[in-house]
Structure 1
Amino acid sequence: MSGLVLALLAGGLTGLALGALGGGGCILAVPALIYLLGFTPAAATTAGLVVVTLTSVTALVTHACAGSVRWRAGALFAAAGLVPAAVGGAVSGRLPSPLLMGAFALVAAVAAARMLRPSASVRSDELPVRSGQVVKAGAGLGAVTGLLGVGGGFLAVPALVNVVGLRMRAAVGTSLLVITVNSLAALAARTGSAADVDWSAVAPFAAAAVLGAWDGKRLTAGLSADTLRRTFGCVLLGVAAIMLVDAVL
């Protein structure tokens, strides 16, 4: 199968997951870039941030039009992650590839566990924003985004529900604002890095992801959110196992 077809398929899956779940899809982008398109881990995390940013903005627009973005809470959460995201982005390119892949595999495993766990993240009302806890959660998410080139929506959505107090629908939409801000900060920190990125391969991947993100929210209307989470959780678990073995060996 040609590199272009692989890039389009992987990008489309990434966008669908991000638009439908507010996270989880972009963690598939980095391993897809490494194993399907031959990127180095450093180049894949940089390219992954580009894909994350473009697809997050696209999905954010659709959720904002539906009124499911809580701008004040999202802005506070995102602001807390700006510096950690920038620091993580600057450090990432200097880490050994096995260490970077091992860390990514562990994060993917955490994401899979969260997706496979029965969802208890449902609220009938929204709680007052607890600023101190929001700042801590936002800073941790920013560091993960910068270091590993993932949006962190699989961590942001539960945090926005359990720490910020949003209902699930609002948490998914608001997470896209957080992802966009963190990804831009991490990308800015990587400007001028030595990672050699093949932008001719990234472009079709990102374009397919953007188109998939437009359809991702509509996908949730026809399928159960739990079914979607379990499906992507199983895929992520397999990806985590492959990357962990690769990093160790």
Structure 2
Amino acid sequence: MEIFGYIASVLIGVSLGLVGSGGSILTIPVLVYLFGIDAFIATEYSLFIVGISSVAGSVSYLKKGLVDLKTALVFGIPSIISIFLTRSYLLPLIPIEVFRIGNFILTKDIFLLLIFAVLMIIASFKMIQKSSLSTIEVAHSHKNSIFKAAGEGSAVGILTGLVGAGGGFMIIPTLVNLLKIPMKVAIGTSLVIVSLNSLIGFFSAMNHSEIDWSLLISISVIAIIGIIIGSYLSKKIDGKKLKPAFGWFVLIMGIYIIIKEIFFKI
């Protein structure tokens, strides 16, 4: 199954490079189901893989001047604080066995996967639904929007810390709808925020488990190749047209995880 895992790793980067989100949505299932990695460890590995890949993608957007660094700080600082608190204090509080019903035991791993599956389903609807984001071309912001963005940043930080999701699918709509940032700049800014969130989340909790660096680095390198491909394709293909198709795929994956972890664990 590992060969399929490495092939799928390319898609992690392509998704990030093309639409600025979706990398972590692919990373967790790839790590758990194709590489056979424990779900808790997979959340940590996901942070590193998505973080490093996003750094590579951010570089090209920075060179083009398509990153709003001020907004990245406004959104990113609350996220970073939330990630640190979640991974340092909230995540360790979750027991190994959450609860038991008959023959079904809800373990910590299954619990995290179910949270992630619900997150995937929510993300899929955001991707599938039609949006007028591309019509916004004038940057504008006001105090209320900035406070809302900071609050959204905190929410993204909790999700990132809990399940290893970069949160790009939440960040981009917030940047465009609340702060009125153009779509291309929103993608670049999202990659910067995701890279900061993910890497800080990973390094703040890396001492909690043993890391297989050879596997982690090999997947990350392949994902970076994918993000380079995705960044190139973004010049040729309108990422917004691919989002609905990707959204349906994510929806199916989310439902699959719920069915597999609940009904096939009994």
Which bin holds the TM-score, normalised by the shorter protein?
over 0.9
SS at match of 2:138: coil
Relative to the length of structure 1, the TM-score reads: 0.93
Cα displacement (A) at 1:168:
1.0
Q: Is the 8 A contact 2:44 2:206 kept in 1?
A: no
Cα displacement (A) at 1:248:
2.0
Q: Residue type of the partner of 2:169?
A: F
Match of 1:14 in 2: 12
Relative to the length of structure 2, the TM-score reads: 0.87
Structure 1 Cα separation of the partners of residues 255 and 211 of structure 2: 25
Structure 1 Cα separation of the partners of residues 151 and 111 of structure 2: 25
Which deviates the most, 124-133 or 109-118?
A: 124-133
Structure 2 Cα separation of the partners of residues 31 and 94 of structure 1: 24
Match of 1:230 in 2: 244
Cα displacement (A) at 1:93:
5.4
Match of 1:147 in 2: 162
What is the alpha-carbon root mean square deviation over aligned residues?
1.6
Q: Is the 8 A contact 1:15 1:211 kept in 2?
A: yes
Q: Residue type of the partner of 1:92?
A: L
Structure 2 Cα separation of the partners of residues 240 and 79 of structure 1: 29
Match of 2:91 in 1: 92
Gaps of 5+ in 2: 95-107
1:185–1:13 Cα change, 3 Å: same
Structure 2 Cα separation of the partners of residues 62 and 232 of structure 1: 23
Match of 1:241 in 2: 255
Structure 1 Cα separation of the partners of residues 32 and 114 of structure 2: 13
Q: Is the 8 A contact 1:93 1:193 kept in 2?
A: no
Structure 2 Cα separation of the partners of residues 191 and 33 of structure 1: 17
Match of 1:161 in 2: 176
Instruction: Specify which of 128, 131, 154 is matched with residue 119 of structure 1.
Output: 131
Cα displacement (A) at 1:188:
2.8
Cα displacement (A) at 1:6:
2.4
Q: Deviations over 1:157-209 (max 9, x none)?
A: 00111122211111111001111111122113312113x44333322211110
Cα displacement (A) at 1:219:
0.9
Alignment of 1:79 onto 2:77: yes
Match of 2:224 in 1: 210
- Bigger Rg over Cα: 2
Q: Is the 8 A contact 1:42 1:92 kept in 2?
A: no
Gaps of 5+ in 1: none
Q: Deviations over 1:185-244 (max 9, x none)?
A: 2113312113x4433332221111011111212112222323321221122111101111
Cα displacement (A) at 1:94:
5.2
Alignment of 1:42 onto 2:56: no
Instruction: Specify which of 100, 108, 133 is matched with residue 120 of structure 2.
Output: 108
Q: Deviations over 1:40-92 (max 9, x none)?
A: 11011111011011001000001111111001111111011111111222333
Cα displacement (A) at 1:145:
0.9
SS at match of 1:106: helix
Cα displacement (A) at 1:135:
1.1
Q: Residue type of the partner of 1:65?
A: K
